[in-house]
Chain A
Amino acid sequence: MGSNAEVDFTVVEGDYIRSKLIPDFEWTRFDRATEPVPLSKPVTDARVALVVTAGAYLTGSQEAFNAKTALGDDTFRVIPGDTPREDIALSHPGYDTRRAAQDLDCVFPLTLLRELQAQRAIGEIASRHVSFMGYIPRTERLLTETAPKAAHILAEDEVDLAILVPS
């Protein structure tokens, strides 16, 4: 398929959100990039966690994300690293979850990361991973409360590297 150079998704999506959902929507933007935090050890020794915005949650014990509100859902779910695939479901308004439900590694490569651990490509898989739902048009609380709580969980688990996977 061809290039999408002519499509600026920030304009298309911004216009869509303003016309259908939130009239005063604006993208959150920053003037300066955050500095990369260097890995403190080789990745082959590192404890690795996944942070995804696929809207993944545990079917038996967690509520689905609210995919029906214009204001989005800035909460997150903690997914244990040894969760069986069949215990994870997806809830997200922004993409058709039926595709990824057939192969969770498309958006939440937990099975694959376990295999990379077995191949010694990473030190170990973290005991807890984090799932958000990516439609969060109001970002204040995400930045000041919910994402810092997620960071605290990963720090508590002494995670060396977080791989962030959008949907």
Chain B
Amino acid sequence: MGLIQRVLGEAGISTVSLTLVREITALVKPSKALYVQHPFGLTLGGIGDRTTHEAILRDCLRWAEKTLPAGEIVELPYRWEIDDLRERQLRKEAR
């Protein structure tokens, strides 16, 4: 994701990205990223969790307007507390 974001930025397009893995984003260094601790495949939140989906998308819009240092990774207050899916994914024990 960060690699694509770098290319879009170099083409002059304003961008903001979500990231599920801070460490990968730190390697790639896109211009501006928002970190959410959700599982792969549930980036904006759980199935049917419209409230969280909208909150995160609105956060993207809000942070897109802010001036930040290049490469900033902003930690958003979203954590997956429904089950241990994210932990298992990060250990490659689940998809």
In this complex, the member of A34, A35, A152, A155 whose beta carbon has the largest number of chain B beta carbons within 10 angstroms is A34
With A28-B28, A33-B71, A40-B14: A99-B57 Cβ-Cβ less than 8 Å: no
Instruction: Convert A16-30 into 0s and 1s, putting 1 for each residue whose CB lies closer than 8 angstroms to a CB of B.
Output: 100000000001111
Residues on A with C-beta less than 8 A from B1 are 53, 134, 164-166
Scan residues 107-144 of chain A and give those whose CB is less than 8 A from a CB of chain B: 107, 109, 112-113, 115-116, 121-122, 132, 134, 136, 139, 142-143
A: residues with CB less than 8 A from B are 1-2, 4, 7-10, 12-13, 16, 27-40, 42-43, 48, 51, 53-54, 92, 94-97, 99-100, 102-103, 105-107, 109, 112-113, 115-116, 121-122, 132, 134, 136, 139, 142-143, 147-148, 150-152, 154-155, 159-167
- Please list 28 pairs of residues, one from A and one from B, whose beta carbons are closer than 8 Å in the complex, sorted by A's number: A1-B81, A1-B83, A7-B87, A28-B27, A32-B71, A33-B29, A34-B5, A34-B10, A34-B31, A37-B31, A51-B5, A94-B40, A96-B95, A106-B41, A106-B42, A106-B43, A106-B47, A107-B41, A112-B50, A136-B3, A147-B8, A155-B11, A162-B13, A163-B16, A164-B8, A164-B18, A166-B19, A167-B41
